[in-house]
Amino acid sequence: MEMHPPNGVRLRVLVVDDEPTYAELVVAELRHVGFAVEWEIVESEEAYLDALARSPDLVLSDYALPRLGGERALELLRQHGPEIPFIAVTGTIGEDATVTLMSGGAVDYLTKDGPADLGPSVARCLTVWQLRREQRESKKEYRDLFEQVPIGLYRATPDGRIVDANAALCEMLGYPDRESILGVNAGDRYADSADGARWLAQIELAGVVLGHETRMTRRDGAVIWTRDTARAVRGDDGATAYYDGAMEDITPRKEAEAALQRQLSRLASLRTVDLAITGSLDARVTLSVLLDQVTMQLGADGADILLFEPESATLTRTAARGLVAGGHSANGWTAGPVAPGLAARAAAGSRLVTIGDVATDPDARIDQAALQAYGVAAYFAMPLLAKGQVKGVLEVLHRRPFLPDEEWREFLEALAAQAAIAIDNAVLFGDLQRSNAELVRAYDTTLEGWARALDLRDKETEGHTQRVTELAVRLARAVGLAGAELVHFRRGALLHDVGKIGIPDAILSKQGRLSEEERAVMRLHPKYADDLLAPIEYLRPARAIPYCHHEKWDGTGYPRGLRGEEIPLAARIFAIVDVWDALLSDRPYRRRWPIERVRRYIAARAGSHFDPAIADVALRLLPHDA
Ligand code: C2E
Ligand code: SIN
Ligand code: SIN
Ligand code: FE
Ligand code: FE
């Protein structure tokens, strides 16, 4: 570094010493190199503090003094005038003083018996000090930036303790100031502590985590969504010294996303109902699809659809879900409304009846006992209107008091409009009006024809269902079924996938693998089958296969996750044949498998997917080649 001569720059020197000899020497040298020096000498703490208040340009202090030592002088300087350079003056090089004072913040030290050119030496010290001050000032600028950026910035120890934080972070996490947040463990603020641990592990491993989105708990307990980018700062030994991170509050974005997601999901569900209306053979399936959407999308604990019969002016339950699902009598849908008075009011007035809290709403009084018997705390009755006429009523039930918002109400109206269309469809209406006895006759004569129609829709090869049924009946016999059991088994096998009529074509005939959502819809087919078959007395004992053929021995199947012998025997037998035949058939999304591979597949899943005892019998019975 090049030294510039001071050229008359004024320099006020404060000397801490008990005798002036050495100071005079230094001052003379400083004048010699061009400073215009003024100086004073102090010996006591009081005089020193007074002099500091006048802001000298330089403090020269003897190390060892009876009244005011160098260390104390430096400490007082840092308390009262930190921006003034301090040069320690000691007896000999190597005195402890140099170490203590230099590490305490002294700019330099001079020795009393030291070099002749004290002046340049002091000038050099002052230049070094000047540079340090500039550094400090630029640090201060960064600090100001750190404090003022509108993003939460922090530094944390490897175990998560916050050791520095800016105002934005404090505000985000609900702390009044920096002091109150220091020492707080960031890990404890994670709403999901497992996620907090994962975050720490990931940053430790990768060194940096970009845009981690998680929920944090503010000091006041409120939960916010945050987006965090952090890096591990490693020490020379490679170990993490601390984490530096930037965190944003993304709660508004997350809320907007969730609202959008809800909208999309509701749109999709309206579409699903549309597809069910146009694609179904039976209105019961459409209404069943619709009630699935009502309970899923409206967050309801139960719902039913009541059909209005104008001649008798009665409301008859036609389909039901959740809280009210067990409410129909054994021979069909004969039960009335959950809340007869309120449902009638909705039908008569052609308007939505809203009971946010059954316990306190005076309007609930007429049906309070009935509602409470069903465990209903909030109740909604929506009239189903088509061409200006009441076709029925949709009852929506909640276990807890509930005040719907505008969005909820709009969606309920959209679903109600669709329910009304489904009911108004003359053909479907005929289906619903048909007595169970007629249905039994109709199914009795057309069961096998229906199965063929199902094959066609499922793009199955000619005779697939017949073939599966014959094979399944052989296996059932080998397992020991006989007589009436076998008759029911046969009917159940023929109808095993009847619930697929509730599945939109777009999913059923998809050329590729199903997405998660599509798979979820597909998995409703056993439930639809049950809804369809439940009212038909004649097919009641045959329901086990359609309803339970996708349950698995280890409990990982659907729709109910039954396990082992909880799964009806007929369904355990049929499941093996279903998979056997499926894998031996071309599907729009894959070619048929060779027989050996299918045998291996079934053998490998005996005891997990399949009942192991039945799988044994099946593998003996099923062919070894085509
Ligand atoms: P499905 O084709 O009659 O198949 C009946 C069962 O056989 C399936 O039940 C599954 O256990 C087994 N299976 C059929 N194909 C395969 C296969 O390629 N690999 C394996 N490991 N197992 C197979 P799952 O899985 O519950 O499926 C029920 C129905 O859902 C199927 O009846 C089919 O109609 C449909 N489905 C399932 N996955 C897809 C898919 O990726 N794409 C399409 N388009 N439809 C699918
Ligand atoms: C599957 O589990 O669906 C894939 C089996 C395969 O095609 O090998
Ligand atoms: C196969 O060979 O792909 C069937 C065997 C199995 O998946 O367990
Ligand atoms: Fe199936
Ligand atoms: Fe099948």
SS3 360: coil
Asked whether residue 1 carries a pLDDT value surpassing 50, the answer given is no
Place 462 in a pLDDT band, splitting at 50, 70 and 90.
low
pLDDT for 2: 40
pLDDT of 353 over the 70 cut = yes
How far, in Å, from the CA of 508 to the mean position of ligand 1? 10
How far, in Å, is the centroid of ligand 4 from the Cα of 524? 10
Mean of pLDDT over the chain: 83
Q: Is the CB of 587 within 6 Å of ligand 1?
A: yes
Spacing, Cα 625 to ligand 3 middle (Å):
17
Q: How far apart are CA 480 and CA 117, in angstroms?
A: 114
Q: Is the CB of 457 under 6 A from ligand 1?
A: no
- pLDDT higher at 246 or 268: 246
Q: Is the distance from the beta carbon of residue 600 to the nearest atom of ligand 3 less than 6 Å?
A: yes
Alpha helices, H only, 350-403: 368-373
Q: Is residue 598 predicted with pLDDT exceeding 50?
A: yes
Is residue 37 pLDDT above 50, yes or no? yes
What's the gap in Å between 608 CA and the centre of ligand 1?
A: 17
- Name the CA dihedral angle for 520, 522, 526, 528, rounded to a multiple of 10 degrees: 100
pLDDT at 455 over 70: yes
pLDDT average, residue stretch 199-215: 86
Please give the number of the atom of ligand 3 that sits closest to the Cα of 605: 8
- Please tell me if the CB atom of residue 513 comes closer than 6 angstroms to any atom of ligand 1: yes
For 125, the enclosing helix (H) or strand (E) is helix 118-148
Compute φ and ψ for 145, nearest 5 degrees: -60, -50
Closest CA to 555 of 543, 546, 542, 565: 565
- Give the percent of the chain with pLDDT over 90: 37
Sequential DSSP letters for 218-265: -TTS-EEEEEEEEEEEE-TTSSEEEEEEEEEE-HHHHHHHHHHHHHHH
Q: Give the atom of ligand 3 at the shortest distance from the alpha carbon of 597.
A: 2
Tokens of 577: 């044949």
Residue 68: per-residue pLDDT: 84
In whole angstroms, give the CA distance from residue 569 to residue 385: 45
Name residues with Cβ closer than 5 Å to ligand 4, which is an ion. Answer: 497
First-residue to last-residue Cα distance in the chain = 93
| Ligand 2 center from residue 607 Cα (angstroms) | 19
Candidates 130, 180, 100; CA nearest to 6 is 130
Interval 93-152: pLDDT, tens: 545 666 666 666 666 666 666 555 566 667 776 776 677 677 777 888 888 888 888 889
Burial class for 392, CB neighbours closer than 10 Å (0-12, 13-18, 19+): buried
pLDDT at 103: 65
Ligand 3 close to Cβ of residue 10 (< 6 A): no
pLDDT at 13 over 50: yes
Share of the chain above pLDDT 70, in %: 84
Q: Is the CB of 583 under 6 A from ligand 1?
A: yes
* CA–CA distance, 383 with 391 (Å, rounded to integer): 8
Average pLDDT over residues 284-304: 87
Q: Which of 134-143, 178-187, 258-267, 399-408 has the lowest mean pLDDT?
A: 258-267
d(CA 427, CA 493): 28
Mean pLDDT of 23-47: 86
The pLDDT score that the predictor gives to residue 333 is: 46
Q: What is the spatial order of strands in the sheet that 108-111 belongs to?
A: 36-42, 10-16, 58-62, 86-90, 108-111
Tell which wins on pLDDT, 76 or 618.
618
